[in-house]
Amino acid sequence: MIFLVDHNLEGHALLLSGAITNLGWLELLPILFITFQEIELAMASDDRTVWRFAQVNQMILLTANRSMKGENSLEQVMREENTTSSLPIVTIADAERVLTDRDYRDRCVDRLIEIVFDIDDYRGAMRLFIP
């Protein structure tokens, strides 16, 4: 499973990826974190563009602060375009704690693993908050 990492979470994704690797999950589940820069997606892309890109490319968007106001807000896009086969958006409830609290980060990793393992159960769910 590929996670498209929102532009302000690149450091967070490195920590999460490191924890996933250290726990040995990559031997069982293919998990990859991709940045906007790696796929040449503009950091200023609106939420509709990002959501559509993630869906077309079968990526789960990992975010913490996508907008909830306006016609191109992530919330509005999900309401208008989400289907039963859409991948969910994973939102870190407290992004700062991922950087500073190892227990919180480990709980986020556990939740990410659960989501990847049971991804078909989460299709159509729109947004999942972790941990």
The answer to whether 15 and 98 are in contact (CB under 8 A) is yes
Query: 3-class secondary structure for the chain?
Result: CEEEECHHHHHHHHHHHHHHHHCCHHHCCCCEEEECHHHCCCCCCCHHHHHHHHHHCCEEEEECCCCCCCCCCHHHHHHHHCCCCCCCEEEECCHHHHHHCHHHHHHHHHHHHHHHHCHHHHCCCCEEEEC
- Reported as a single tens digit per residue, the pLDDT across 66-121 is 556 778 888 899 999 999 999 999 999 999 999 999 999 999 999 999 999 999 99
Whether residue 57 is predicted with pLDDT greater than 70 in this model: the reply is: yes
Measured CA to CA, the distance from residue 117 to residue 111 in angstroms comes to 10
Q: How far apart are CA 128 and CA 54, in angstroms?
A: 15
User: Which residues constitute the domain of residue 80?
Assistant: 2-130
What mean pLDDT do residues 17-31 have?
93
Mean pLDDT of all residues in 7-12: 94
Residue 65 confidence class, pLDDT cut points 50, 70, 90:
confident
pLDDT score for 67: 57
Q: How far apart are CA 21 and CA 16, in angstroms?
A: 9
Average pLDDT score, the chain: 94
Distance between CA 94 and CA 67 in Å, rounded?
A: 16
For the chain, how many structural domains are there in total?
A: 1
CATH value at residue 44: 3.40.50
Asked if residue 59 has pLDDT above 60, the reply is: yes
- Choose among 86, 42, 88, 49: nearest CA to 67: 49
pLDDT at 72: 84
